[in-house]
Amino acid sequence: MRTQRLFERIESIELQAVSKKYGSRFAVDSLDLNIEGGELLVLLGPSGSGKTTTLRMINRMIEPDTGTILINGQNIMKLDPVSLRRNIGYVIQNIGLFPHMTIGENVGLVPKLEGWDEIRTTERVRYLLDFVSLPPDRFIKRYPRQLSGGQQQRVGLARALAMNPPLLLMDEPFGALDPILRKQLQEEFLDIKKEIGRTIVFITHDIEEAFRLGDRIAIMDNAKLVQVGPPEELIFEPVNDLVADIVDTERKFKHMDILNVKDLMTPLDTKYLLDASMDICGAVQTMKERDTEIGIVFENNVLVGKVEMIDLLKSEDEYTLIKKVAKPMKVFAPQDSVASALSEMKKSGEYMAMVMNGDAPRGVLVSDEVLLKLI
Ligand code: ADP
Ligand code: MG
């Protein structure tokens, strides 16, 4: 069955006095919110504040009790719900890939349901896998269980993009990933966002993620919208103490000078360690088994640098030793000041550095983790 293309481009999404109750409690209480075409709007707020309910009302997975939702001026209750959902990409934390279908079949499912022929579907699937940094030749025939968490999350994104929807709804898509991988996927996602220029509504409860990705941020609390605006507006003109608390960036940096790297580093997890004698093929295999996408390479207890899964997958010769392709990392001592370490990392655009006590690795310093710990 072929569904109608409902909108080529999103001009606006308007939520007008939208409410949803469960029993006697409001999950969403008289919400008014305008989303502009082409923006990435972040919904930010504590757990249970109504973010998911709001998002799901936009694609009619949940229907409001009262109020109106318009997309490009059309009342969505007048549209066919299946067509509506096929025109909207939806990405969640545990993306629910079908385990008995290959990656290619998972990504190509909706195009197939839409009656696309084999050739066109395969071409689209290959394009999308490539787009999310999963080389199609390697991944198209694999099964979900053979992929790491981060790779599965990429497949989820590719699947949501299959019909080239003008609107993407994303519910904490990176929430289940470890901090290093999360940061990496955020960076890639920023590139994707630039390239596709579509409207995105993105839920997170991570303030750093909100600030990094959002054009505007809508803060929800207790079923209500508290404030919506660009990050700087929330910082400089918070409407109440709750918003001020959430975005209090000053407090984040206040103690930085007196803190040492060791106070805020993440202890080194041995799953990230790789031996320099490994070749790319072995490293990829090991990283997959350990569900990591980054490796820190040592040669006889001497730090060589780091390797990232996406770079390794792109390499031409999988028998190259990883020590040849490892990228140098900044190294700090446990007693170094966090403030200067972070500013050095920021200058060179690195999000992760090693913490070594002489020759002994102690931990990693991940810039976002540091900020999160200070909030
Ligand atoms: P968030 O995504 O911000 O964590 P939700 O939108 O999931 O919040 O939930 C908002 C409120 O509505 C919560 O108090 C939650 O317990 C309640 N709620 C959500 N879905 C249901 C449901 N199907 N039945 C009963 N209560 C629900
Ligand atoms: Mg939620």
Helix (H, G, I), strand (E, B) or coil at 92: strand
Query: How does residue 375 score in pLDDT terms, banded at 50, 70 and 90?
Result: very low
**Which numbered ligand comes closest to the C-alpha of 61?**
1
Query: How does residue 249 score in pLDDT terms, banded at 50, 70 and 90?
Result: low
Q: Which atom of ligand 1 is the closest one to the Cα of 49?
A: 3
Q: Which atom of ligand 1 is the closest one to the Cα of 46?
A: 3
pLDDT at 252 over 60: no
Q: Which atom of ligand 1 is the closest one to the Cα of 50?
A: 6
Ligand 1 in contact with 300 (CB < 6 A)? Answer: no
For ligand 1, atom 13, name the residue with the nearest CA.
48
Counting beta carbons within 10 angstroms of the beta carbon of residue 335, is it exposed (0 to 12), middle (13 to 18) or buried (19 or more)? Answer: exposed
Q: Which atom of ligand 1 is the closest one to the Cα of 47?
A: 4
The tokens for 107 are 């990504």
Helix (H, G, I), strand (E, B) or coil at 310: helix
**pLDDT (average), residues 154-169:** 91
Q: State CA 15 to chain mean position distance.
A: 25
Ligand 1 in contact with 52 (CB < 6 A)? Answer: yes
The tokens for 17 are 């006095």
Count of C-beta atoms within a 10 Å radius of residue 196: 14
Ligand 1 in contact with 22 (CB < 6 A)? Answer: yes
Ligand 1 in contact with 49 (CB < 6 A)? Answer: yes
Q: Give long-range contacts, CB 8 A cutoff, 24+ apart: 338-343.
A: 338/256, 338/259, 338/260, 338/261, 338/263, 338/264, 338/365, 338/370, 339/253, 339/256, 339/257, 339/259, 341/261, 341/365, 342/256, 342/367, 342/370
pLDDT digits (tens, 9 = 90+) for 81-129: 988 998 999 998 877 789 999 999 999 999 998 899 999 999 999 999 9
Task: Tell me which of 15, 52, 205 to substitute to probe ligand 1's pocket, judged by most ligand atoms within 8 Å of the beta carbon.
Answer: 52
pLDDT at 157 over 80: yes
Q: Which atom of ligand 1 is the closest one to the Cα of 28?
A: 10
The tokens for 83 are 């067509």
Specify the amino acid at residue 357: N
Query: How does residue 256 score in pLDDT terms, banded at 50, 70 and 90?
Result: low
pTM of the predicted model, to two decimals? 0.70
User: How far apart are the CA of 266 and the centre of ligand 2, in A?
Assistant: 27
**pLDDT (average), residues 193-200:** 79
Residue 90: the pLDDT is 92
Q: Which atom of ligand 1 is the closest one to the Cα of 54?
A: 6
User: How far apart are the CA of 62 and the centre of ligand 1, in A?
Assistant: 11
**pLDDT (average), residues 201-210:** 89
Pick from 13-17, 166-170, 244-248: least confident: 244-248
**Which numbered ligand comes closest to the C-alpha of 54?**
1
For residues 97 and 173, give the distance between their C-alpha atoms in angstroms, rounded to a whole number: 14
Domains of the chain plus CATH, in order, are 12-253 (3.40.50.300), 258-373 (3.10.580.10)
Ligand 1 in contact with 163 (CB < 6 A)? Answer: no
For residues 107 and 98, give the distance between their C-alpha atoms in angstroms, rounded to a whole number: 10
For ligand 1, atom 14, name the residue with the nearest CA.
48
**Which numbered ligand comes closest to the C-alpha of 28?**
1
Pick from 28-37, 52-61, 141-150: least confident: 141-150
Ligand 1 in contact with 47 (CB < 6 A)? Answer: yes
**Which numbered ligand comes closest to the C-alpha of 23?**
1
**pLDDT (average), residues 30-42:** 95
**Percent of the chain at pLDDT above 70?**
95
Ligand 1 in contact with 87 (CB < 6 A)? Answer: no
**Which numbered ligand comes closest to the C-alpha of 45?**
1
Residue 257: the pLDDT is 62
Of 69-78, 197-206, 207-216, 246-255, where does the model show the most confidence? 69-78
Specify the amino acid at residue 5: R
User: How far apart are the CA of 254 and the centre of ligand 2, in A?
Assistant: 31
Q: Give long-range contacts, CB 8 A cutoff, 24+ apart: 313-316.
A: 313/133, 313/134, 313/135, 313/138, 313/284, 314/135, 315/280
Q: Which residue has the tokens 């839409």?
A: 114
pLDDT at 347 over 50: yes
- HEC readout, 173-201: CCCCCCHHHHHHHHHHHHHHHHHHCCEEE
In the predicted model, what is the mean pLDDT of the chain?
89
Q: Are 176 and 99 in contact (CB under 8 A)?
A: no
User: How far apart are the CA of 171 and the centre of ligand 2, in A?
Assistant: 7
User: How far apart are the CA of 206 and the centre of ligand 2, in A?
Assistant: 12
pLDDT digits (tens, 9 = 90+) for 89-99: 999 887 778 99
For ligand 1, atom 21, name the residue with the nearest CA.
22
pLDDT at 365 over 60: yes
SS3 of the chain: helix, strand, coil, percent, to 5: 40, 25, 30
pLDDT digits (tens, 9 = 90+) for 127-153: 999 988 899 999 999 999 999 888 898
Ligand 1 in contact with 152 (CB < 6 A)? Answer: no
